[in-house]
Structure 1
Amino acid sequence: MLALTVQPNTADSLDVGVVDDPAPKPGELLIDGLAVGVCGTDKEIVEGSYGWPPPGHDRLVLGHESLGRVAAAPPDSGFNEGDLVVGVVRRPDPVPCAACAHGEFDMCRNGRYTERGIKERDGYGSQRWTVESDFAVALPPHLVDVGMLLEPTTVVAKAWEQVYRVGERAYFDPQRVLVTGAGPIGLLAGLLAVQQGLDTHILDRVTDGPKPGIVEALGATYHHDDIDDVAPRLEPDVVIEATGAGPVVFGAIAATATYGIVCLTGVSPGGRRLRIDAGAINRDLVLENDAVVGSVNANLRHYQRAVEALGDADKDWLASLITRRVPLQRAAEAFTSQRDDVKVVITLDDAH
């Protein structure tokens, strides 16, 4: 079968080649791959700046934003042939740490977790793959064209959970949210905000292309001015930060309403220095009872919450996020950014 592979930490090593067909182990599902989404982490791996191959191997099968259909399932797995499924990305560390031992592998303390398509486990970017039934998540059939959006939705489902866990240290009734970044993570964070009935605002630097219309169709308000202009005007109760851009991060932290919460989901690139008034930021955080929390990855309950969110969303709106579909044989095209890209998807079967 064909698979999308890369040699981690080696630039220009992306390849679509023949690999052995997977052989399910006891308790595993055999899956016909339908599609994988492409995100910034995948691009970093392809650029040679990130990623770890499975032990004893030189190459890593890419793809962690999965979508597939069950080809075969053990009788007691809870799955049937034909079911639409997504594979969970992270696995608990083998020690395990206290968090992993309690099912909170997204909060692994010692960093020995593994991740499909990223860290020491092959991903889902192949025509067929296997997954443990305990780490497979069923999707309703109507999400067949957009189900690869589930994994990024789990990231924001966890982010919103973190916001409420922090907020509920006292009376918490947020009204207005600002999402910074109108990429897939930001737009999906906005989706969950709108589903909660919040006054939702999404900030991005582009002024044309599909993003403003996608935000408007969601029922949110689109902004493209500087964060230092937008955030003080809105005084949001919650900020979901999805850019990782230093000026945006600190601009958001500085301008929330009293008792504001900023949840950071974007990973900042290294090497750039910013001059900030650390004293002023500290003073505001303390005197206003503000909070800043980082959030990454997701565990099983976040996958279930994400299934609910996508299941309740307008299917046409979800489809509008997918601006390009590239067949596996031409997968390299998915890693060359185009001007109007939002979410690029690599299709793994001939039917899509």
Structure 2
Amino acid sequence: MKAITVVPGDVDQVRTDDVAEPAEAEGALLVQGDLLGICGTDADIVHQGYGTPPPGEDRLLVGHESLGTVLRAPQDSGFAEGDRVVGIVRRPDPVPCEPCSRGEWDFCRNGKYTERGIKERRGYGSERWRVEPEFAVKVDPALGDCGVLIEPTSVVAKAWEQTERVFSRASWRPRTALVTGAGPIGLFAALLGVQRGLEVHVLDLDDSGPKPGLVADIGATFHTGDVRDTGLRPDVVIECTGHGPLVFELTDVISPDAVICLAGISSGTRTVPVSTDQVNKSLVLENAVLFGTVNASRRHYEQAAEALARADRAWLERLITRRVPMSGFKDALRKKGDDVKVVVDLHA
């Protein structure tokens, strides 16, 4: 079968290879790969050397944003032939640590987890793949191909869940949310904020292309420029850019008792002068919380699937701005001006 394989850090080693059929040990569900979403992690694997092939292998079969159709399933698995499914990315460490033993591998304590298509496990970028039933999430048929958006949405489903847990420390609840960055993660964060009944604002550097319209059409407000010029005093911020200087600027604009959730990672190495004493003073005197989040557990995938099922499918379809064949994976890593989410058609 065909699969997309790479040598992390070597852009000239991106290939569509003939590889062996997935081994039964990889999972009882045999799945026909349909679509594969591309994100910044894939670009970091290819261009920056992030990621690790399975032990004993020198190439990594990539792909972690999956969507497929079940070809074969055990009778007692909860799945049947024809079901659309998404495969969960992370697997608990083999020890396991306490969080992993409780299904919270997104909070792995010792770093020995593995990840499909990223860290020591074959990914979902192949014509067929296998997955364990307990690491597969059924997709509402009404979502169609938009099911490929579940994995990135799971990241912000966790971000919102953890943010709401912080807010449970007090009796009041947030009313105004700011999402920084209008890429796919930012757009999903805004969607989930609107679904929670919040007044949502989205800040991005670029107001060209489809992003402003996508933001407006879910009932949120789009902004560009310096966050300090927006006039906003958000109760909650979901930060999706990973831009370090912006993180510190946010501490100047939040409302009292606010929560800032960091969901973005930058590959940059910029340095800027920061008054850490002032940041500390702002966080303490404003009773604010600044925290980071990464990855997702099964319940976050399920929350994401439910959130997308409630969303307008036509809006979701507009997020998938480009489809490429498997041979186009390398070129798809570089976004074009109007790209929001690029996906690979695993049938082509």
TM-score, normalised with respect to structure 1: 0.97
Cα-Cα RMSD: 1.2
Report the Cα distance in structure 1 between the residues aligned to 2:251 and 2:113, rounded to whole angstroms.
30
Q: When the two structures are aligned, how many residues end up with a matched partner? A: 348
Report the Cα distance in structure 1 between the residues aligned to 2:73 and 2:274, rounded to whole angstroms.
55
Report the Cα distance in structure 2 between the residues aligned to 1:11 and 1:289, rounded to whole angstroms.
46
1:107-122 equivalences under 5 Å are 107-122=107-122
Change (3 A) 1:27 1:90: closer
Q: Which amino acid aligns with 2:191?
A: L
Tell me whether 1:128 sits opposite 2:128 in the alignment.
Answer: yes
Q: 2:71 is paired with a residue of what secondary structure?
A: strand
* Contact 2:26 2:131 (C-alpha < 8 Å) held by counterparts: no
Structure 1 residue 90 displacement after superposition: 0.2
Q: Which amino acid aligns with 2:180?
A: T
The answer for the alignment partner of 2:257 in structure 1 is: 259
Structure 1 residue 23 displacement after superposition: 3.2
1:173-252 equivalences under 5 Å are 173-230=173-230, 233-252=231-250
Tell me whether 1:269 sits opposite 2:261 in the alignment.
Answer: no
Tell me whether 1:287 sits opposite 2:301 in the alignment.
Answer: no
Structure 1 residue 274 displacement after superposition: 1.3
Report the Cα distance in structure 2 between the residues aligned to 1:311 and 1:244, rounded to whole angstroms.
28
Q: Which amino acid aligns with 1:239?
A: V
1:23-62 equivalences under 5 Å are 23-25=23-25, 28-62=28-62
Report the Cα distance in structure 1 between the residues aligned to 2:154 and 2:125, rounded to whole angstroms.
19
Report the Cα distance in structure 2 between the residues aligned to 1:42 and 1:260, rounded to whole angstroms.
33
Report the Cα distance in structure 1 between the residues aligned to 2:268 and 2:44, rounded to whole angstroms.
13
Q: 1:209 is paired with a residue of what secondary structure?
A: coil
Report the Cα distance in structure 2 between the residues aligned to 1:172 and 1:294, rounded to whole angstroms.
22
Q: Which amino acid aligns with 2:295?
A: N
Tell me whether 1:97 sits opposite 2:97 in the alignment.
Answer: yes
Q: 1:306 is paired with a residue of what secondary structure?
A: helix
Q: 1:259 is paired with a residue of what secondary structure?
A: coil
Instruction: Tell me which moved more, 198-207 or 21-30.
Output: 21-30
Structure 1 residue 24 displacement after superposition: 2.4
1:201-250 deviations in whole A, cap 9, x for unaligned? 000011211101111111100001212212xx110000000000112211
* Contact 1:27 1:77 (C-alpha < 8 Å) held by counterparts: no
* Contact 1:97 1:110 (C-alpha < 8 Å) held by counterparts: yes
Report the Cα distance in structure 1 between the residues aligned to 2:88 and 2:207, rounded to whole angstroms.
35
Change (3 A) 1:26 1:41: closer
Q: Which amino acid aligns with 1:40?
A: G
Structure 1 residue 281 displacement after superposition: 1.0
* Contact 2:251 2:282 (C-alpha < 8 Å) held by counterparts: no
Structure 1 residue 8 displacement after superposition: 1.9
Instruction: Tell me which moved more, 260-269 or 64-73.
Output: 260-269
Structure 1 residue 333 displacement after superposition: 2.3
Structure 1 residue 14 displacement after superposition: 0.9
Q: Which amino acid aligns with 2:143?
A: L
What 5-or-longer segments of structure 2 have no aligned partner?
none
The answer for the alignment partner of 1:19 in structure 2 is: 19
Change (3 A) 1:26 1:4: closer
Tell me whether 1:296 sits opposite 2:294 in the alignment.
Answer: yes
TM-score, normalised with respect to structure 2: 0.98
Aligned-pair identity in percent equals 55
Q: 2:57 is paired with a residue of what secondary structure?
A: coil
The answer for the alignment partner of 2:314 in structure 1 is: 316
The answer for the alignment partner of 1:338 in structure 2 is: 336
Q: Which amino acid aligns with 2:313?
A: K
* Contact 1:27 1:74 (C-alpha < 8 Å) held by counterparts: no
Structure 1 residue 109 displacement after superposition: 0.7
Report the Cα distance in structure 2 between the residues aligned to 1:21 and 1:162, rounded to whole angstroms.
39
Structure 1 residue 301 displacement after superposition: 0.6
Structure 1 residue 26 displacement after superposition: 8.6
